[in-house]
Amino acid sequence: LETGWARRGEARQEARWLSAERRLLVATVDDFFRAGLHEAAWRLAFYLTPLFELGAHHDDWHATTATGLDAARAAGHRQGEALLLRGLADLHRAEGRTEAAAAALRAAQPLVEGLELARITLRLGLVQTRADEAERAFTRALQVFDEAGDRRGRADALRALGALRMDAGPLEASLAAYRELGDPLGEAGVLLVLAELSRTEGVPAEAEASARAALKTFTSYGDRRGAAQALLALARAMLDLADLEGALEALMSAMGEFDGLGDDQGKAEAQRLAQETRRRSGLCTS
């Protein structure tokens, strides 16, 4: 049997290959659609979603999703349409457009049932503004995943519940599930939440360790948004530890990442923390 480490190495190699061939793959979606190969077009557009999410290739993500949706509708494939709408919602959420994400998810709901509906319900919880409604969505989705034996869905739902409640129980269960699945990026996402939880519990050294572990994984896989968020988490932990020089270094790196992603909100938060760090270290007077 393959070890988890072997699978992780293969995943990194596949990610690098896909990234190198990205432009060709994007063009192929359009070629399939023009040739009337609608099934192939929407499926390829859907399968490319993780590549675009990982590298924050939002323009390609938008373009292939639009073509994929046209292809799925032309083929009369309701589930394909729902899958692409779910991907579109993930894209809108990555861009901070929660209302647009919710609209895409609501459009997908009547197209599917069962596990796919549970995945949509989970994502609707992620864009809810009310905590009670979000918790109900996560709990409903978790129940479906548990009944169906869907380990990945269960890991995702536990992570969402743990993050909402800031509860170590679901987070640790989610972390263990991602490890069993051999999903290091899932692990890294949980570690970011655990870093924040450790800070709120007054254990900044644990927060720093979790943030560093997450940053290493995100960087290894080329996940720019994850790396930027991990750098912010690391800087906050280092501020708590009074490591002002280290915090400022992390924040400068985070600003560069957020700037490259076009994430003005993330960049503004990194700038705010950098200003606070400079004040604390006496590097500025304002």
Mean pLDDT by 10 residues, the chain (286 residues): 42 65 94 98 96 90 98 97 98 94 98 97 97 98 98 98 98 98 97 98 98 97 94 98 96 95 92 94 63
pLDDT of residue 7: 46
- The neighbour count for residue 29, using CB atoms within 10 Å, is 26
pLDDT of residue 55: 86
pLDDT of residue 195: 98
Nearest Cα to Cα of residue 250 among 229, 220, 225: 229
Buried b (16+ CB within 10 A) or exposed e, 81-113: bbbbbbbbbbbbbbbeeeebbbbbbeebeebbe
- The neighbour count for residue 132, using CB atoms within 10 Å, is 9
Longest distance between any two alpha carbons in the chain, whole Å:
65
Q: Considering the entire predicted model, what is its pTM?
A: 0.88
**Which residue shows structure tokens 């319900």?**
121
3-class SS string, the chain: CCCHHHHHHHHHHHHHHHHHCHHHHHHHHHHHHHCCCHHHHHHHHHHCHHHHHHHCCHHHHHHHHHHHHHHHHHHCCHHHHHHHHHHHHHHHHHCCCHHHHHHHHHHHHHHCCHHHHHHHHHHHHHCCCCHHHHHHHHHHHHHHHHHHCCHHHHHHHHHHHHHHHCCHHHHHHHHHHHHHHCCHHHHHHHHHHHHHHHHHCCCHHHHHHHHHHHHHHHHHHCCHHHHHHHHHHHHHHHHHCCCHHHHHHHHHHHHHHHHHHCCHHHHHHHHHHHHHHHHHHCCCCC
Nearest Cα to Cα of residue 197 among 228, 237, 224, 249: 237
At a CB cut-off of 8 Å and minimum separation 6, what does 168 contact? 162, 194, 197
Six-digit token string for 255: 């600003």
pLDDT of residue 2: 36
Q: What distance in Å separates the CA atoms of residue 80 and residue 72, rounded to the nearest whole number? A: 6
pLDDT of residue 15: 62
